[in-house]
């Protein structure tokens, strides 16, 4: 029995009944010729206790019902977008209990889903490389300002199908008037020469292009990031070979400001790119 239920259905009615009985007995003592007898007083007191208990129980159940109506579960019931998700989870759980291998896969899927929902609740989400390209391209379609660095291996990204589409999206966005600034971080002079035509094309389309030698940025892994309109931040997670493992996205202003600080740190060491004949020192 909960504390509230104990209070409403036993403690308060008992106190009320005891006070009523004492008052009734006291009145009988003062007026002994009163028709009402002690037995009648006792029956009246018991009736009052029952009524008090019923009122208390009703109140307690009412409060519990209100609490349930305000619970997250009720929010799911009210939200038509969430109802089928929960129903599918329940159906999948029912099926998975019949097979240990299916149950293991189900649990891993639930853990992954829960991790993604936790990230979204913290205003963070991520895409694997196969899906991140289209997301960023769509984001660039209406961009007004873009800050970005590029440390990903040029021949593993910019020359890929998604890399070429991304290049086109940047050129189109700049052609519509977006202000884009990108800093290419190169690991060697030969790598800079390799990516030089790509940089030149961006420069010719009024994109602000800068370059920096990776050695100038210290021991920490250089950032590969993008900030769109100050409201969306993206950060590539690179492997040791500088391939993209996933892309984390943020809409939280604190995280976006951290990316902006990282961009500024790289920018302080970078120099303007003027064309293929200009060799970085």
Question: What percent of the chain has pLDDT above 70?
Answer: 71
Domain spans, the chain = 3-70, 76-121, 126-272
2 or 73, greater pLDDT: 73
Provide the CATH number for the domain formed by 126-272 in this structure.
3.30.870.10
Other C-beta atoms closer than 10 Å to the C-beta of 215 total 10
Residue 31 has pLDDT above 80, yes or no: no
3-class SS string, 20-50: HHHHHHHHHHHCCCCCCCHHHHHHHHHHHHH
Give the pair of three-digit tokens for residue 97.
């209990």
Task: Tell me the mean pLDDT in the region 189-195.
Answer: 91
Q: What is the mean pLDDT of the chain?
A: 81
Q: Which of 114-118, 175-179, 257-261 has the lowest mean pLDDT?
A: 114-118
Residue 186 has pLDDT above 50, yes or no: yes
Other C-beta atoms closer than 10 Å to the C-beta of 93 total 13
- Note the pLDDT tens digit of each residue in 233-244: 999 999 989 998
- Note the pLDDT tens digit of each residue in 57-90: 565 655 555 455 556 677 777 788 878 888 888 8
Q: Are 259 and 222 in contact (CB under 8 A)?
A: no
Burial environment of residue 66 by CB neighbours within 10 A (0 to 12, 13 to 18, 19 or more): exposed
pLDDT of residue 281: 43
CA distances from 14 to 78, 240, 255 (A): 41, 74, 58
pLDDT of residue 127: 82
pLDDT of residue 259: 97
Question: What percent of the chain has pLDDT above 90?
Answer: 44
Banded model confidence at residue 206, pLDDT cuts 50, 70, 90: very high
pLDDT of residue 277: 63
3-class SS string, 239-264: CCCCCEEEEEEECCHHHHHHHHHHHH
Task: Tell me the mean pLDDT in the region 28-41.
Answer: 50
Task: Tell me the mean pLDDT in the region 167-189.
Answer: 96
What gap in Å lies between CA 174 and CA 172, rounded to an integer?
5
Enumerate residues 6+ apart whose C-beta is below 8 A from 119: 125, 126
pLDDT of residue 5: 47
CA distances from 278 to 179, 210, 217 (A): 23, 12, 21
pLDDT of residue 89: 85
Residue 21 has pLDDT above 60, yes or no: no
């Amino acid at each position: 029995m909960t504390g509230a239920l104990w209070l409403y259905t036993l403690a308060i009615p008992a106190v009320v009944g005891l006070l009523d009985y004492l008052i009734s007995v006291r009145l009988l003592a003062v007026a002994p010729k009163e028709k009402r007898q002690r037995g009648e007083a006792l029956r009246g007191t018991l009736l009052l206790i029952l009524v008090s208990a019923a009122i208390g129980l009703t109140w307690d159940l009412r409060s519990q019902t209100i609490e349930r109506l305000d619970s997250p579960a009720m929010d799911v019931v009210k939200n038509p977008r969430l109802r089928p998700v929960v129903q599918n989870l329940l159906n999948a759980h029912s099926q998975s209990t019949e097979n240990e291998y299916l149950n293991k896969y189900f649990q891993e899927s639930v853990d992954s889903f829960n991790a993604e929902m936790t990230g979204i609740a913290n205003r963070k989400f991520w895409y694997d490389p196969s899906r991140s390209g289209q997301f960023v391209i769509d984001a660039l379609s209406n961009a007004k300002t873009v800050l970005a660095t590029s440390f990903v291996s040029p021949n593993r990204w910019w020359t890929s199908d998604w890399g070429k589409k991304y290049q086109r999206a940047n050129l189109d966005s700049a052609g519509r008037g977006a202000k884009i600034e990108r800093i290419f971080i190169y690991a060697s002079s030969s790598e800079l020469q390799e990516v030089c035509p790509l940089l030149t094309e961006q420069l010719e389309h009024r994109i602000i292009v800068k370059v920096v030698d990776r050695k100038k940025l210290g021991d920490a892994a250089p950032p590969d990031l993008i900030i769109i309109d100050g409201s969306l931040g993206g950060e590539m997670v690179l492997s040791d070979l500088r391939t993209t493992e996933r892309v984390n996205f943020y809409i939280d202003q604190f995280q976006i400001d951290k990316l902006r600080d990282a961009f500024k740190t790289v920018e302080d060491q970078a120099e303007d790119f003027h064309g293929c004949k200009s060799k970085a020192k």
